[in-house]
Chain A
Amino acid sequence: MFQAKADVISKKEISPGVFSITLISPEISRNAKPGQFVHVLCGVQNDKFLLRRPFSIHRVVPGRAFEILFQVVGSGTKELSKVKIHDALDVIGPLGTSFTYSPDIKSALLLAGGLGVAPLLFLAEELTENHVMFYAMLGAQTKTKLLRYIDFKRLAKKTFAATEDGSFGHEGTVVALLNRTVHRLRPQVIYAVGPGKMLQKVAETADDFGIDCQVSIEAKMACGVGACLGCTCLTRQGFKLTCKDGPIFNARDIMWGESEVEQLSLDGYKYEAAEITDSD
């Protein structure tokens, strides 16, 4: 892992509230593997908040730069969305584990919910380079929130899309789409990234069909490098660190629902109306 002052060389708002930023760092881009993340001080003057924010590595320009893709959800991502070209961001990376596959795999399925495309596009590029055939399945609430569809379509054998409002592709959730098609696609491995609730359902389907499944888990973290023991994830082997033992885990190892990981999602929290009870 490296700490770098990385120059911003490009910034785009690819969809309302969703930004992509490309940062120069030969060390990080040279060493990055799909699934790994960077820990970013979100802003040049970091006085509005304290801790770094984790973002998956979205793509690399080999040996030169890397890209992150993020959605504005709170103070850190808001500050990050305001950076300008030539600003230098303090970044640590590459951190954590990466997606794995054996060289002889015949087919894979990359499944993304919302911002889940972030680490999966990097994986798609690597699989393509290594001549691994894969399908992509992207889900979003609506067409404008469907990210990187064209990029996946260019790389994958076939790219499926699902929108909850039916504005593009299949109507419904990406999980429903998976459940309808998985017996035909017969992937050897599923790589899934997205909200925790979605991952849990994908993991169940993968389990039912005996398909290996790797997921990217999110947890609030402080150091990001394995020292503070803050970002624990509950697994069948006990507590693991999301930043160091993850973020990529074998879906079978995760104790879904036991830990709070399923509450943290790339789409943020759904508002749960509190039950109003009369007390007298």
Chain B
Amino acid sequence: MSVNLSVTLAGIKMKNPVMPASGTFGNGREFSEFFDVGRLGAIVAKTVTLKPREGNMPPRVCETTSGMLNSIGLQNEGLGYFLKHDLPYMRKFKIPIIVNIAGNTLEEYAQICRDLRGVEGVSAIELNISCPNIKAGGIAFGASSKLAEQVTAASRYNTDLPLIVKLTPNVYNISKIARAVVSAGADAVSLINTLVGMSIDIKTFKPQLANYTGGLSGPAIKPVAVRMVWEVAQTVDVPIIGIGGIMTAEDAIEFFLAGATAIAVGTANFVNPKAMVEIIEGIERFLSERGFTDVRQLIGKVRV
């Protein structure tokens, strides 16, 4: 029996609900040596900012129990370079392209949205709102429902593309933030970004990361992510992209049951470059073994 894996998310038609999490897949070049990237449901670009960013000082990564910390610092070549060199490359995969963007001010988000207008091959914009708002004294856009709403509204005003807002888990009440961004025009939300963490080398007494703190990702954060997806699914009506510690198809299915329409895979790509293909195949197997015909039959079906 054949099963349907395709989903539509904020108007984006995907042949399956699996995509990479921004920043963990480059723009597909490296991974295309390991598998056919065209098999994915969509490709999500690494966060792009208006101007090039050098990123943080090394060390930038360290392994932790069932996870890792990173403080890459949004290193990227800037929007101009992205449009000229990366996007044309990504178009070759012939799958929807989601461009993840970030700014230090509302104007920067607005500007990038304007610059992406009419650009061939962009299927959606994902707002990374984990960055600090310089004008608001460095508090992350995503940490305040007011700022999150403003940045979504400013982006919404400047683009007709589907708008996905990627939520940070470093907040007390994620549902409140989700409600705020949806009221400001988000077509979908993705969650979670990394949890702020710290690790100290007891031989040198120094933090493991030059930046002292970094974002925790990997299996360690999965229960937090599932809980947040579940909470947000109760709160808003827009589709959810579930992210956080997904290593296997079984992990992905938990997210569907919690209410995600699609999922994104991050850290697992580093452990197994073919992780996403194996997850797609695993979801298909799970569905047919259990007698389901459509992945959508799982969405939000947790029995509570």
Contact = CB atoms under 8 A, between A and B. Distances in A.
Interface of A: 1, 3, 41, 46, 49-52, 90, 92, 219-234, 238-239, 259-261, 263, 269, 271-272, 274
Given A227-B270, A228-B72, A229-B75, 11 more contacts: A41-B271, A51-B63, A51-B270, A227-B25, A230-B60, A231-B61, A232-B55, A232-B58, A234-B57, A238-B54, A269-B204
A228 B70 contact: yes
B203 A271 contact: yes
Contacts of A52: 270-271
Interface of B: 23-26, 29-31, 33-34, 54-55, 57-63, 66-68, 70, 72, 75, 201, 203-205, 210, 218-219, 267, 269-274
22 contacts: A3-B273, A46-B271, A50-B218, A52-B270, A90-B272, A92-B273, A220-B59, A222-B267, A223-B30, A224-B270, A225-B31, A225-B273, A226-B26, A226-B29, A227-B26, A228-B72, A229-B75, A230-B61, A234-B57, A234-B58, A239-B55, A260-B57
Contacts of A230: 60-61, 70, 72
A46 B218 CA distance: 14
Given A220-B62, A232-B55, A3 B70 contact: no
A221 to B, nearest CB: 7
B67 A227 contact: no
A106 B16 CA distance: 58
B61 A220 contact: yes
Contacts of A3: 34, 273-274
Contacts of A233: 58
Contacts of A221: 61
A226 B26 CA distance: 8
Contacts of B63: 49-51, 220
Contact of A261 (B58, B67, B269): B58
B269 A227 contact: yes
| Interface class of chain A by DSSP | loop
A229 B55 contact: yes
A272 B204 CA distance: 6
Given A220-B61, A221-B61, A239-B55, A274 B270 contact: no
Nearest to B273: A3
Contacts of B66: 50
B273 A50 contact: no
A228 B30 CA distance: 10
Contacts of A272: 203-205
A261 B219 CA distance: 28
A90 B203 CA distance: 30
Contacts of B54: 238-239
Contacts of B267: 50, 222
Contacts of A226: 26, 29-30
A171 to B, nearest CB: 28
Contact of A274 (B23, B57, B68, B205): B205
Given A1-B33, A90-B272, A239-B75, A227 B24 contact: yes
A92 B33 CA distance: 11
Contact of B68 (A51, A90, A229, A231): A51
Nearest to B205: A274
Nearest to B66: A50
A231 B270 CA distance: 13
Nearest to B62: A220
A220 B205 CA distance: 18
A222 B24 CA distance: 10
A218 to B, nearest CB: 11
Nearest to B71: A230
A221 B61 CA distance: 7
A225 B30 contact: yes
Closest 6 A/B residue pairs (Cβ): A230-B61, A227-B26, A223-B270, A225-B30, A232-B58, A222-B270
Given A50-B68, A222-B70, A260 B273 contact: no
A92 B57 CA distance: 27
The residue among B205, B210, B267, B271 with the most chain A CB atoms within 10 A of its own CB is B271
Contact of A227 (B31, B210, B219): B31
B266 to A, nearest CB: 9
A90 B275 CA distance: 13
Most B CB within 10 A of own CB, among A225, A228, A233: A228
Name the residue in B33, B59, B67, B269 with the highest tally of chain A Cβ atoms < 10 Å from its Cβ. Answer: B59
Contact of B58 (A41, A90, A92, A260): A260
Given A1-B33, A225-B30, A259 B57 contact: yes
Nearest to B247: A50
A10 B65 CA distance: 31
A54 B88 CA distance: 32
A223 B92 CA distance: 23
Contacts of A222: 61, 68, 70, 267, 270
Contacts of B33: 1, 225
A169 B224 CA distance: 57
Contacts of A219: 58-59
A46 B271 CA distance: 10
A56 to B, nearest CB: 20
Given A219-B58, A261-B58, A269 B203 contact: yes
